[in-house]
A and B are shown apart, each in its own frame.
Chain A
Amino acid sequence: MIESKRQRRMIANIATYIVLASLTVFCIGPMIWMFLTSLKYEADIVTQTMQYLPSRVTFDNYVAIWTQSGFPRLIGNSLVVTFLTVTVCVVTGTLAAYAFSRFAFRGRDQLMLGYLVVRMFPAVMMIIPLYVVMRGVGLVDSRFGLALAYTSFLLPLFVWMLKGFFDSAPKELESAARIDGSTRLGAMVRIVMPLARNGLVASSVFIAIAAWNEFLFALMLTTGQGSRTWPVGLQLMVGEFQLPWGVLAAGGILSIIPVIVLFAIVQRTMVQGLTAGAIKG
């Protein structure tokens, strides 16, 4: 009886590991493949028989993409757009989330629901009206315009996430601070924000990664080198007759480095924030 129970648990464990391992391969595999490709000579990439591990290693692809294309410019634009998006979201979203969390005003629930509805429609549907609006105010092909476009669909997400974190901070703390001499805003900045710090970091990183990787809006709303971001730039390098696989792979690897670095720095805070939100929010 006991024997069979243990056996059953063992089988379940093995099954779990198989599933997890295959999912991991599925997710990480392409990235490893991309990394290996970026280290190969062009001649070793397109071969008759599949060459898994590079026989000769070269960093030419990295040098090529950094010096012979507008790649540094693309990365710079992406950094600016991401920074602007996160700044706008954090400043306005924090205030909005706090208001949603603490004040019972008319239309609050409807407004929150409205935020969700925005997320329901596919991005393709929003792009054309957004393009028309952007053109009207002269923000097409500008980094600020692109950041605003990202804000339009990332801000609702940010507010929803952060509201959960604010909700889990006890209201009595602010009451105490207000009696102790703070204003409402002061209580929010001094007492609630430090408490919701993990949530704020988690939500901001989430927004930053989404803005960094975004492709569709960037493709539609940027036309020139001045504001084009890396996902679009990389895609445009795919020529009609030539596919520079090695260079593209190197560009891909370079582009995910900021995300990996960012995640490594905030990983602990972010995981704490996300799990706290999952339980309490």
Chain B
Amino acid sequence: MATLSIRDVRKSYGSVQVLHGVDIELEDGGFLVLLGPSGCGKSTLLNIIAGLDDTSGGDILIGGRSVLDLAPKDRNIAMVFQSYALYPTMSVARNIGFGLEMRGVGADQRKRAVEDAARMLQISHLLDRRPANLSGGQRQRVAMGRAIVRDPELFLFDEPLSNLDAKLRVEMRTEIKRLHERLGTSIVYVTHDQIEAMTLGTKVAVMKGGYIQQLDDPRTIYERPANMFVASFIGSPAMNFLAGRLVPDSEGVQFQASGVSIVLPTRNRPVDSERPVVLGIRPEELRTVPRNRASIMGEIDVVEPTGPETMVTVQVGEHAIIARLPPRFAGRRKEPICLAVDPASVNLFDPDSGRRIDI
């Protein structure tokens, strides 16, 4: 177990800079998720932590000790790869024990450690097989076994679930969370799946274009995104954006757009004059209300019942927004619909910079 400090880490390939001064601190036993679209630099950052890639600047500390000069094998880390990277010529048992074998651990002790890890992951019956004879989920478990058997200071996961089918993915996600809670080892986890980030992380770094867009706990990232990119990347269906303007009002300020009028409480400074803004509303914050209490008026476009809820696409002025409504919602296409939203749950963004505005 150890803390991880990433300090001003930069990386460029030739003239292309893929990481622009990344700073992250992870507490001992924390679970850091690096989240972002492909090409955002998250895997590069993970490879740098592992020592598989060099930095162009900055420092990496594991347990307070700089590891930049150490080879991957000397960093006391373990990594689970997207392709699992199981050694095809070795049995499952030897795959799991390979790290111990390389470190000169005796055969008896190694056997015991491999059996313990296999039991924890319920793969004891597979130890004599070759990786080629395993299913995707089993390979995933072997890859995790190989990581935990060494009892490292830090686990690195590189999109470990992206090659699994949907059902297995949910199962293994739970397994990883259980493992983390049981072992208490710090983890860095790379994914482009926002559900994995939300469910697993104690800390999420949303990345784009080599910059950290926001580094926070999952709840803050979901409820108070730092900018429109984070807001749209997290959550499915994505956050609704409505372009409008803020108008001073007796009770605070009012957000106005065609078909929308919402009074927003102001905490600090009153808005002096009209200014253009983008309003962000999560689909689940919308609810249907009687006409006299409506703050958003629109027309139903598409109704999609999913079982536990109904997704309704509503045309509001020139915007199409999605509302997540109860399962028995009875509206039909072309009918008018009146919606309201809790003013405390909305987010405001600057239309030019995309950054969050706090009022």
Contact = CB atoms under 8 A, between A and B. Distances in A.
A175 B99 contact: no
Interface string B70-96: 011101011101110101110000000
A180 B102 contact: yes
Interface string A167-194: 0001011011111111100100001001
Contacts of B73: 178-183
A180 B81 CA distance: 13
A276 interface: no
A179 B88 contact: no
Contacts of B146: 176, 180
Nearest to B13: A104
Given A178-B72, A182-B73, A173 B87 contact: yes
A195 interface: yes
- What class of interface size applies to chain A in its complex with B? 10 to 19
Contact of A179 (B79, B83, B87): B79
A173 B143 CA distance: 11
Interface string B293-306: 00000000000000
A76 to B, nearest CB: 37
Contacts of B102: 177, 180-182, 186
A179 B77 contact: yes
B189 interface: no
Given A172-B83, A175-B79, A181 B99 contact: yes
A109 to B, nearest CB: 15
B88 A195 contact: yes
Contacts of A176: 79, 81, 85, 87, 146
**Chain B contact surface mostly:** loop
Contacts of A191: 87, 89
B52 A178 contact: yes
B267 interface: no
A179 B98 contact: no
Contacts of B81: 172, 175-176
Interface string A69-95: 000000000000000000000000000
Contact of A170 (B47, B50, B83, B98): B83
Nearest to B78: A179
Interface string A259-273: 000000000000000
Nearest to B80: A176
A34 to B, nearest CB: 43
Contact of B85 (A172, A181, A183, A186): A172
Contacts of A178: 51-52, 71-73
A176 B52 CA distance: 10
A170 B89 CA distance: 13
Contacts of B328: none
Contacts of B75: 179
B109 to A, nearest CB: 15
Nearest to B52: A175
B99 A180 contact: yes
B83 A181 contact: no
B103 interface: yes
Nearest to A178: B72
Contacts of B50: 175, 179
A195 to B, nearest CB: 7
A177 B89 CA distance: 13
Interface string B55-79: 0000000000000000111010111
B353 to A, nearest CB: 37
B39 to A, nearest CB: 18
A177 B77 CA distance: 12
A191 B103 CA distance: 16
A165 to B, nearest CB: 14
Given A172-B81, A182-B73, A183-B73, A177 B52 contact: no
A24 B88 CA distance: 39
Nearest to B104: A181
Contact of A175 (B71, B85, B89, B150): B85
26 contacts: A170-B85, A173-B85, A175-B47, A175-B52, A175-B72, A175-B81, A178-B51, A178-B72, A178-B73, A179-B50, A179-B52, A179-B73, A179-B75, A179-B77, A179-B99, A180-B98, A180-B99, A180-B146, A180-B150, A181-B73, A181-B98, A181-B102, A182-B73, A186-B102, A194-B89, A195-B89
In the complex, the 8 A-B pairs of residues with the closest C-beta atoms, listed nearest first: A181-B102, A180-B99, A176-B85, A172-B85, A194-B89, A181-B73, A178-B72, A172-B81
Given A170-B83, A172-B83, A176-B81, 6 more contacts: A172-B81, A179-B50, A179-B79, A183-B73, A194-B89, A195-B88
